[in-house]
Amino acid sequence: MVNECHTIPFIDKLDTAKILVSGPCRGGKSRWAEYLVLRIPDVVYVATAWDVQEDKQWIERIQIHRSRRPKSWHLIECMGDLSSTIIDNSDKTLLIDSLGGFVTSNLDLHDETWKHNCQILLEQIKAHNKLIVIVSEEVGWGIIPHDTIGIKFRDRLGILIQSLDEITTHSWLVTQGRALDIKQLGLKVP
């Protein structure tokens, strides 16, 4: 759990901010995203991954996430249709965790359909009139996938994150349990 003595970082127009939180596996990105909305009582937590009952480690990871969430938060388990979930909850603060599950659910889509669906998703995020925090895995820092599906996942997620950065008001990179304000520290690649 994030140390409670810290204060939530200054975020312009928190009630309508669009925040991207990305980082490597087990870097603390979900904890940081949860911390950013911790003081908001009515949060819709959008889980994009599904329970895999045969995978004991996966179930344990989901339980850790569940145990950290306040009881007042509403859970929506959303597989591939993230845009509809955003539309259906346009008047609520959303915490979407994470884009990896969304991409995985849509790997079978033809490239043109995928691009179209991403454009709709980006439009819905941009139009969302309340705070929205989106968690995403950073890919491509480790092992290079040797199969087509792994390459497709990595490429689709990487492109989607860059597109999201264009419309978000704040972007955090969370690694080694530390959150870095990318829009403050970084320069846009031309």
**Total-model pTM:** 0.90
For residue 13, which of 130, 96, 123 has the smallest C-alpha distance?
130
Shortest CA distance to 69 belongs to which of 102, 16, 30, 99? 30
Q: Which of the two residues, 29 and 49, has the higher pLDDT score?
A: 29
Does residue 114 register a pLDDT over 50? Answer: yes
Neighbours of 87 (CB within 10 A): 13
Give Cβ neighbours of residue 83 (< 8 Å, ≥ 6 apart).
117, 120, 121, 124
pLDDT at 143: 82
State the pLDDT at residue 5. 45
pLDDT: which is higher, 95 or 11: 95
How confident is the model over 170-180, as pLDDT tens digits?
999 999 999 99
Q: Which two tokens stand for residue 81?
A: 């249709």
DSSP string, 51-114: --TT-HHHHHHHHHHHHHS-TTSEEEE--S-HHHHHHHTTTSEEEEE-HHHHHHHTTTS-HHHH
Q: Mean pLDDT, the chain, as a whole number?
A: 89
All domains of the chain in start order, with CATH: 15-185 (3.40.50.300)
**Residue 114 or residue 144, greater confidence:** 114
Residue type, 120: I
Question: Residue 8: pLDDT band by 50, 70, 90 thresholds?
Answer: low
